[in-house]
Amino acid sequence: MPVITCIEDLRVLAQKRVPRMFYDYADAGSWTECTYRANCSDFAPIKFRQRVAVNMENRTLRTTMVGEDVRMPVALAPTGFTGMQHADGEILAARAAERFGVPFTLSTMSICSIEDIAAHTSKPFWFQLYMMKDRAFIERLIARAKAANCSALVLTLDLQVLGQRHKDLKNGLSAPPKLTLPNIVNMMTKPRWCLGMLGTQRRGFGNIVGHASDVSDLSSLSAWTAQQFDPALSWADVEWIKQRWDGKLIIKGIMDPEDARLAVQSGADAIVVSNHGGRQLDGALSSIAALPGIVDAVGSEIEVHMDGGIRSGQDVIKALALGAKGVYIGRAFLYGLGAMGEAGVTKTLEIIERELDLTMAFCGLTDVRKVDKAILIPGTWQVPQSYILPGDLA
């Protein structure tokens, strides 16, 4: 086993162990992948102020996200097909997150079901919801999340239509995946993955198959998913969700201050600044570039989180300095999962925790709740001019 020191080490190992179609699903963006790459690269110009001769003892990363105590301000993001990165992937990731002390978010498009996660964990987890045209199915899904004691609902608004993802199209990635000859041949080169899949019965979409109307097996899933994402989604639908969900509501997919203000008006408890990992609108701002403008617009009225491009603890603390109260990691934990299963997810969290802790110390702080723009060099970050609306100039 190679020595693992950073998230990139886990990515390299995952690429070796996970079949190409599923690795590419996780590690790709839409169109030219400009926004996907910017999510990571736009962190680099942001520079720290290093402090010395400051007491660095008794440091703590503990804080809260939507009122829940967390070991550090990091949650596992909802990711589709997680159980195809590694057998029973969602269960393994949820257990790792629970033992570590950070939130786990289960995707609607997960392989393992809500009930699977509830049966293998003892603490509440979060559930991510896509709004489908079949409102009766959505009502049942919300009821299942309540029955599983989910403590927050993460409503994703940026998948009304699907971004064009070239690698997925070339690989035949769909729901369910197409087992083409090239894909089968590639899977045969991943014996560890194949053995894991042979040892589990969880290979479908557990939240959908057997629960949605006319979806009794994988053969009927493709047609259902192709027509269910709702291009007519509106803020009225958010109100419809709130009437059926009385817990914490987090709205994910906010990239514009005007939408952030509408989210505040909706009564949500938090928003996630997110461009879906660069998998939807290519050419959009990176999440970290959009974050300051959104925080300036609504940060005093609602809890602001972000995701996109987080590959280190230093990325986490930069997001916190620019106003996020917490961040979500998607690809980073998927690399760990694909590389080493549950132990890899734990390793991902340990790496990020250590990097976050050390960076905070070098910046002269001992409490993550006190991180703000003062730890950054002025001029190395800015609010995009396009995000300064006419009404903000008064």
Residues contacting 23, CB < 8 A, separation 6+? 14, 15, 85, 338
- Taking a C-beta distance cutoff of 8 angstroms, is the pair 288, 39 a contact? yes
Q: Is the dihedral of CA 149, 152, 157, 162 positive or negative?
A: negative
Please say if 305 is a catalytic residue. Answer: no
* Residue entry with tokens 């514009």: 256
Residues 6+ apart with CB under 8 A from 108: 78, 80, 127, 128, 129, 130, 141, 207, 208
Alpha-carbon separation of residue 165 from 172, 192, 338 (angstroms): 11, 27, 21
> Which is the catalytic residue, given 86, 211, 276, 305?
276
CB atoms < 10 A from the CB of 223, how many? 11
Beta carbons within 8 Å of 62's beta carbon, 6+ residues apart: 69, 70, 71, 72, 368
Query: Which residues are known binding-site members?
Result: 25, 78-80, 107, 128, 130, 156, 165, 252, 274, 276, 279, 307-311, 330-331
Taken in order 27, 29, 31, 36, the sign of the CA dihedral is negative
Known binding residues for glyoxylate: 25, 165, 276, 279
How many Cβ atoms from other residues are within 10 Å of residue 213's Cβ? 10
Of 126, 128, 113, 115, residue with least CA distance to 159: 128
- Annotation: binding site for FMN: 78-80, 107, 128, 130, 156, 252, 274, 307-311, 330-331
Q: For residues 53 and 71, give the distance between their C-alpha atoms in angstroms, rounded to a whole number.
A: 27
Residues marked as catalytic: 276
